[in-house]
A = this chain, B = another copy of it.
Amino acid sequence: MKIAELARRTGLTAHTIRYYERIGLMPRAGRDGAGHRDYGADALIWISFLGHMKAAGMPIQEMLHYARLRGQGSQTGPQRADILRQRRELVAAQITTLQATLSVLDDKIAGYDAEGINHADRNQT
């Protein structure tokens, strides 16, 4: 598939896909007769993985590190697993933080709603 279709199917823009290739986050794409990038299904899988890692808050530098390890073959598996384990812990911690944040928001919203009923200003912030 061409870059526009890959963009459509991943939700990235063609610009962003070229940017990823430029910085080394995507392998250099094969070209068709016209010199246009031509992608297979593996590109879809890799971008999907990048999307998950991005959702996990992984910075691009770390994705690059992971991508380089992957390029070095299967003997880097344990190192890649370590990276993912570390990220897993960060994500778990972030979920905990967000759940606490959700409680704060719910409390504050409840305070505003009560204020709307009986005009007592509970909300200092």
Binding site for B on A (CB under 8 A): 42, 45-46, 49, 52, 55-56, 70, 74, 77-78, 80-81, 84-85, 87-88, 91-92, 94-95, 97-102, 104-106, 108-109, 112-113, 115-116, 121, 123-125
Contact = CB atoms under 8 A, between A and B. Distances in A.
Contact of A112 (B45, B80, B87, B112): B80
Contacts of A99: 95
B125 A81 contact: no
B95 A102 contact: yes
B74 A105 contact: no
Contacts of A56: 98, 101, 105
Contacts of A112: 77-78, 80-81, 84
A82 B108 CA distance: 11
